[in-house]
Structure 1
């Protein structure tokens, strides 16, 4: 985080490892494709999350249209992204609004790379489940277009009623 904000984290509660759930969200902000633009948006998201009383950025990670991954709560700390699921899931947000547009190919590849790395590093179980935020809460997130994309991926879970 210090690479994009220069500030230390305000997190204390550890996320039990490995988790078996990944929740995909979108930030409903402008999108970005340039490093400085993405870093600016991540700083603005942090300010907004602090303003509503979160300890820090609520998402575990954010992904920019530039294909870069920005750490929020990261692998090790509980975030504030999906009430009732924060203490048992990674919440990964795409920077932008994906109700009608697709994320960039670079952003989608960054998510695939992050998921693979998470499994390799034992932060995420090999048989993890992937869901859209809208499957767990009354929201449009991660947007209809992004939701349709993740529904084609092998770890996507259609029926969330069996999640603990």
Structure 2
């Protein structure tokens, strides 16, 4: 009887400790394992690599209040496993906007292929551990998970440890992305704040604001200068 009681107590302790994940229908597991949805930190006990896998594929899984954004998880677009990546110190207070300077994409099939090609280029040609961006944005408004909220990216030299990056899939020097894509990024930033991934007083920048580049293209750059939190002061 005593051993049974001990087991019950231990089970209850685990349930309570992991309740933040379990209450959302997730599973606490080591994040080297494949997650059918999206990993979220801070909901599981144990090491920093034991995280909550919230299931659901291409919907709002793992995004908490990101109910108004369609997120395509790494597993859904066929990502290659990263070689090695470090965890960000959250919440970040810098958000960077990029464009990929590739052809745009407008539907799941072409966008998955495009994101796969970008990851391959970043790993094979640039020698990076993974795709560089935190998230990539399709013209139909779908958000493709890159390194995600929690991992240090390779997007903005000198600032990767301090911020996340959204990269619009396409080239936006002559025209800005469609409204669906612009709205999706605005919603994602607000979602990041609600999840504790982005500081409420974050500063927004274009890539060219901190590195010698034309990114994210003139039209997109002028657009983001009208957004709340855009900063004219270099971080």
Normalising TM by the smaller chain, what interval? over 0.9
Q: 1:22 aligns with which of 95, 116, 125?
A: 95
Structure 1 residue 75 and structure 2 residue 149: aligned?
yes
What's the CA shift for 1:35? 1.3
Equivalence for 2:119: 46
What's the CA shift for 1:6? 5.1
Structure 1 residue 134 and structure 2 residue 222: aligned?
no
Equivalenced residues, count? 161
2:227 aligns to what SS in structure 1?
coil
Q: What is the alpha-carbon distance in structure 2 between the residues aligned to residue 50 and residue 30 of structure 1?
A: 19
Q: What is the alpha-carbon distance in structure 2 between the residues aligned to residue 73 and residue 58 of structure 1?
A: 7
2:144 aligns to what SS in structure 1?
strand
Q: Deviations over 1:15-59 (max 9, x none)?
A: 100000001000000001111111111001001000110101000
Q: Is the 8 A contact 1:2 1:8 kept in 2?
A: no
CA 1:118 to 1:47, structure 2 compared with 1: closer, same or farther past 3 Å? Answer: same
What's the CA shift for 1:7? 3.5
Equivalence for 1:34: 107
Q: What is the alpha-carbon distance in structure 2 between the residues aligned to residue 145 and residue 10 of structure 1?
A: 35
Q: 2:199 aligns with which of 108, 111, 125?
A: 125
Structure 1 residue 85 and structure 2 residue 159: aligned?
yes
Structure with bigger RCO (C-alpha 8 Å, 6+ apart): 1
Alignment RMSD (CA, Å): 1.0
Q: What is the alpha-carbon distance in structure 2 between the residues aligned to residue 38 and residue 128 of structure 1?
A: 29
> TM-score scaled to structure 1, two decimals?
0.95
Q: What is the alpha-carbon distance in structure 1 between the residues aligned to residue 98 and residue 108 of structure 2?
A: 20
What's the CA shift for 1:69? 0.4
Equivalence for 1:157: 231
Q: What is the alpha-carbon distance in structure 1 between the residues aligned to residue 83 and residue 166 of structure 2?
A: 19
Q: Is the 8 A contact 2:79 2:116 kept in 1?
A: no
> TM-score scaled to structure 2, two decimals?
0.67
Q: Deviations over 1:90-141 (max 9, x none)?
A: 0110000001111011100110111010000000000100000000011000
2:118 aligns to what SS in structure 1?
helix
